[in-house]
Chain A
Amino acid sequence: MALLEVKDLDVRFAVRGGDLTALRGISFSLDKGERLGLVGESGAGKSVAAFSILNLIAQPGYIAGGQILFEGRDLAAMSERELRKIRGNRIAMIFQDPMMTLNPVLTIGTQMVEAILAHRKISKKEARAIALDRLQKVQIPSPEKRLDQYPHELSGGMRQRVIIAIALLLDPEIIIADEPTTALDVTIQAEIMDLLLNLCEQENVALMLITHDLGVVSQVTQRMLVMYSGRIIEQGPTREIINDAQHPYTQGLINALPQMGEPGERLFQIPGSMPSLKNVPAGCPFHPRCKFATEQCKQAMPEYVRSGNVNVACYEVANLIEQEKRMQEAES
């Protein structure tokens, strides 16, 4: 059994004039110790997907359907009281901006001890020892000193290390990291990613990494899913997707990277931009930007088809697979 299994998740936002569907039919699973990447551009729904796992989507957002099974129990159907026992304890989160996550008027030590005591019945002294241990694990220089410092006394990279230390406090099964290095410089980003990856491997923690950076995904994750307009359009082993993407959007996303182009030549570009939730086109949401789009694509959302180990939602890919099959049959 997978550690986390999301089945057919629908998330909607109730706004004036009807509901907006932010997520539609999201299904994926995460095994123990596995690293999964969620990729997409802004507005694709990757953060909503991550937040809804711990039911952290604020009003007017709500989970309209589906299941979120964590060790077999449905988080979507749990009471707030039960959920609080899991949040931050069994499943921890790391957010993009460390300054927004840390309380500016409390010392690092106070915040860490508070988080431990919320879940464990131990003394303050013991909690402080755990906090110190985690700060050592994230390789912060002079960790004892940091416990008594305030967030503003630390640099951006150091704050993100503290955040990772806090996420590790209660030995979680899963860490959900939402763009953990986007606000940081490249050299610091590389160090933080390296640290996160090593810690997850050492402690056998599963990682769900949300990012728009395909380079980071390929470095850190084993499997990835690509989101577009609230749907998963492609998911499978990271290496397979990066090397041989099936969905036209994923292909476009990879080919649009400057490192894929010839220096000085025009880059590959996907025309247009992602539709807003208010006017998601019928059928495949990508069809207005897709060069392979046919009448069929405008009618209904394509079902997932399997190509290698990758699941893709695209009629074009389905047709190609179909053709190949027929050719093989004709040959034999």
Chain B
Amino acid sequence: MTSPLVSIRGLEKRFDLSGSLLEQITFEGGRFRRKQEAVHAINGVDLEVQKGEALCVVGESGCGKSTVARTVMGLLSPSAGEIHYDGQRIDNLERKDSLPYRRKMQMIFQNPYASLNPRMTIQQTLEEPIRFHHPDWSQVQVRDKIHEVMHSVGIDPDWGSRFGHEFSGGQRQRIAIARALAVDPEFIVADEPISALDVSIQAQVLNLLMDAQESRGLTYLFITHDLAVVEHFGTRVAVMYLGRVCELADTKTLFSAPRHPYTQALLSAIPKLEDDRPNHIRLKGEVPTPVNLPSGCVFHGRCPYANERCRQEIPQLITTDGGTQVACHAVEEGRL
């Protein structure tokens, strides 16, 4: 197997909630105590993205999928763990040394109403990253590049002098994609790129992303909560729950034979056109808060197969016969 383009190793990310030292101090039972609290957004994630694939990360709100995306892009710094790009560790680079990687890695955000600067024309929006990464390019080179990317996303290059608000949601997302493509990246992190769009527009943007992948040989890390999109778009899928990967498999394998009880519940909850009634696997309770993580398997409180071991010991990802990697004691012990 070739070396992965991006590898995430032992990634952890905590967000401190307790504020300054003074805010942490409380008076309890006649003594001063210092109380520290943190949101444990990611708790030990290992993922490898192979060149040319679309690795999808799915999960429900609060599972840490967006935090993974942002940490990979360097928008957040990891609390522990490493990010490697093409064999080089990139999470601890100096600003100057990280520049070439920032050109190779681009991001597309969820909300195209917030990700485009309202005071910049489309021309300016697209010009900025090109000029930043290619300060030596001539005016003509920059202009040609802008025309090329606008063409490739299906936006008329004559519209360059318009502002973001003059476009519809779908068109704005195309422009956001054009901005990412403008610096010829190799790797694109897309954080819920179609969730804010209407159904008919979702198909347009998804097609555009697939076309770009084919013509430019892109590699995607695709973050989404929409499993139907994953089944269509993803090469491999990682399912996350409370900051951990609970299952990782080829898309086809995952959808035909989900192993982890959470994945099974998640898949059964997708409303399908052929259904006459909701028929989903019922889970107990709700997702616990990532402030006080459950001991052992993070899913044990809602899992119908949980036993004493699940409450104590954190399950590690193991590879099953089908090639699926799954973190579940029940699967490991053959109970499931």
Contact = CB atoms under 8 A, between A and B. Distances in A.
Interface in B227-251: 227-229, 231-233, 251
A308 to B, nearest CB: 18
Contacts of B252: 263
Given A41-B199, A212-B198, A258-B232, A219 B276 contact: yes
26 contacts: A186-B225, A186-B270, A188-B286, A190-B268, A190-B269, A193-B271, A215-B271, A216-B271, A218-B274, A219-B272, A256-B200, A257-B203, A258-B202, A258-B231, A259-B228, A259-B273, A263-B231, A264-B232, A266-B210, A267-B207, A268-B203, A269-B203, A269-B207, A271-B204, A273-B198, A273-B200
Given A189-B269, A190-B269, A254-B273, 14 more contacts: A41-B198, A41-B199, A41-B201, A141-B285, A185-B60, A187-B280, A190-B280, A191-B280, A193-B278, A216-B271, A220-B278, A258-B228, A266-B207, A266-B211
Interface residues of A, number: 45
A267 B203 contact: yes
Interface string B255-272: 000000000011011111
A69 interface: no
What are the nearest 8 A-B pairs in CB distance?
A215-B271, A256-B203, A258-B232, A185-B60, A41-B198, A190-B269, A190-B280, A267-B203
Contacts of A197: 277-278
Nearest to B285: A141
Contact of A215 (B207, B229, B273, B285): B273
Contacts of A141: 285
Contact of A259 (B210, B266, B272, B287): B272
Contact of B206 (A253, A258, A270): A258
Nearest to A216: B271
Interface string A246-264: 0000001110111111011
Contacts, number: 128
B34 interface: no
A273 B201 contact: yes
Interface in A177-218: 185-191, 193-194, 197, 212-216, 218
Given A185-B60, A273-B170, A41 B200 contact: yes
A155 interface: yes
Contacts of A264: 210, 232-233
A186 B200 CA distance: 20
A194 B280 CA distance: 9
A253 B207 CA distance: 15
Interface string A271-310: 1011000000000000000000000000000000000000
Contacts of A191: 280, 282
Given A186-B60, A186-B266, A266-B207, A257 B199 contact: yes
B295 interface: no
A185 B266 CA distance: 10
B141 interface: no
A239 interface: yes
Contacts of A91: none
A20 interface: no
A43 to B, nearest CB: 8
Nearest to B265: A187
Contact of A219 (B61, B200, B277, B282): B277
Interface in B185-221: 198-204, 206-207, 210-211
B298 to A, nearest CB: 15
B157 to A, nearest CB: 18
Nearest to A261: B232
Contact of B200 (A216, A253, A258, A263): A253
A269 B226 CA distance: 18
B168 interface: yes
A270 B200 contact: yes
A280 to B, nearest CB: 15
Interface string A228-259: 00000000000100100000000011101111
A7 to B, nearest CB: 29
Contacts of A267: 203, 206-207, 232
A186 B241 CA distance: 13
A143 to B, nearest CB: 15
B227 A239 contact: no
Contacts of B200: 41, 252-253, 256, 269-270, 273
B283 interface: yes
A41 B200 CA distance: 8
B220 to A, nearest CB: 13
A187 B229 CA distance: 16
A98 interface: no
B278 A263 contact: no
A103 interface: no
B273 A242 contact: yes
A157 interface: yes
A41 B233 CA distance: 22
B94 to A, nearest CB: 39
Nearest to B58: A186
Given A186-B269, A267-B203, A218 B170 contact: no
Interface string A303-322: 00000000000000000000
A158 interface: yes
A220 B272 CA distance: 11
Contacts of B274: 218
B158 interface: no
B321 interface: no
Contacts of B283: 187
Contacts of A101: none
A42 interface: yes
A41 B201 CA distance: 10
B316 to A, nearest CB: 24
Contacts of A193: 271, 278
Contacts of B269: 186-187, 189-190
B275 interface: yes
